[in-house]
Amino acid sequence: MATLIAAETLRAGDVSVALDALRDACCAPGASTWLDEGVAADLVFSAEPEAGRAVLEGLLPGVDAIVQPATAREKRLLIADMDSTMITVECIDELADYAGIKAQVSAVTEAAMRGELDFAGALDARVALLAGLDEAVITRCLAERVRIMPGAKPLVQTMRARGATCVLVSGGFTRFAEPVAAEIGFHRAIANVLLVADGKLTGTVAKPIVDAGTKEATLAAETARLDLSHGETLAVGDGANDLPMIRAAGLGVAFRAKPIVAAAAGARVENADLTALLYAQGIARADWVGV
């Protein structure tokens, strides 16, 4: 199954172009159907899935293509990253801005998300730079800077309404992850705890650090707890610390991700918002919750 999702408009001619590309790649395409006319369509084909993905990704400007088995298409578990995935910012960079050191901290964040630095070490180093920052800045940052990513609420609330379990697992901080998870509709949030003393950040986080291993382990634990098949799981993120869970999920999605993540993920979303992951599950807009 290939699902085409447009950020703006998907034309019937675009679908025909995609079917021709699948045919030329020996993928034996069959029928195409609209999920939502002008926005998203399904294309069924019966051979060479990797070739199908290769020819469809990037074929149509402004259109994402998600290729996956047609079975177990609707997922029962979502494990999601927070920063730059479920929200539009990196919280630690925004906190650093209040301390006047955003450029210094964001450079380390970018390197860590590209997989160039050890995540735990990079987190400790960045948090250390925040030592002495007034605790009240956290609340201010949450109110002034943190914005929910378009499509996040419909994605989570629709999946939850249909019986799926949704868990936010972040290498960021509980002071952001918990209210964000509550607003979007996640069942729970897992994140790092910023340590505070006398109303000031100490420059440390509680150990053990929530990292790539935590994300992958949460996916495995929830899959076992819910007695799910591998194919019933979905993971989404954008940085290198999301790669293990993305690789381990039935459908692992790189969302507007760093190149190392986009190259390794089973699916990529570069153009559409997070509702692309509802279309990927065959859920049309008429059935969405939280819009």
CATH of the domain at 46: 3.30.70
Q: How far apart are CA 234 and CA 228, in angstroms?
A: 11
Q: Is the per-residue pLDDT at 116 higher than 90?
A: no
Q: Is the per-residue pLDDT at 241 higher than 90?
A: yes
Largest CA distance in the chain: 67
Residue 120: per-residue pLDDT: 87
H-helix or E-strand spanning residue 4: strand 2-6
With pLDDT > 70 as the criterion, what percentage of the chain qualifies? 100
Q: Is the per-residue pLDDT at 237 higher than 90?
A: yes
Q: Is the per-residue pLDDT at 173 higher than 90?
A: yes
Mean pLDDT of 64-92: 96
Report if residue 210 sits inside a domain: no
Q: How far apart are CA 56 and CA 22, in angstroms?
A: 8
Asked which of 116-130, 154-168, 173-187, 253-267 is least confident by mean pLDDT, the reply is: 116-130
Residue 115: per-residue pLDDT: 81
Report if residue 254 sits inside a domain: no
> Coil, strand, or helix at residue 15?
helix
Q: Is the per-residue pLDDT at 108 higher than 90?
A: no
Amino acid at 159: M
Q: How far apart are CA 188 and CA 222, in angstroms?
A: 12
Mean pLDDT taken over the chain? 95
**What band does 122 get if pLDDT is binned at 50, 70 and 90?**
confident
Residue 46: per-residue pLDDT: 94
Q: How many CA atoms lie within 13 A of 92 on its CB side?
A: 33
Q: Is 24 a catalytic residue?
A: no
Report if residue 36 sits inside a domain: yes
Q: Full-prediction pTM beyond 0.75? A: yes
**What band does 226 get if pLDDT is binned at 50, 70 and 90?**
very high
Report if residue 33 sits inside a domain: yes
Range of the domain at 25: 1-67
Residue 274: per-residue pLDDT: 98
Q: Is 273 a catalytic residue?
A: no
pLDDT tens digits for 182-207? 999 999 999 999 999 999 999 999 99
With pLDDT > 90 as the criterion, what percentage of the chain qualifies? 88
Report if residue 15 sits inside a domain: yes
Report if residue 39 sits inside a domain: yes
> Could you give the C-alpha distances from 247 to 14, 127, 266, in angstroms and in order?
30, 28, 7
**Is residue 228 within 8 Å of 211, Cβ to Cβ?**
no
Q: Is the per-residue pLDDT at 38 higher than 90?
A: yes
Report if residue 92 sits inside a domain: no
Mean pLDDT of 199-218: 96
Catalytic residue among 83, 211, 238, 242: 83
Number of domains in the chain: 1
Report if residue 60 sits inside a domain: yes
For residue 87, give both structure tokens. 């929200």
Residue 119: per-residue pLDDT: 86
Catalytic residue among 64, 81, 211, 242: 81
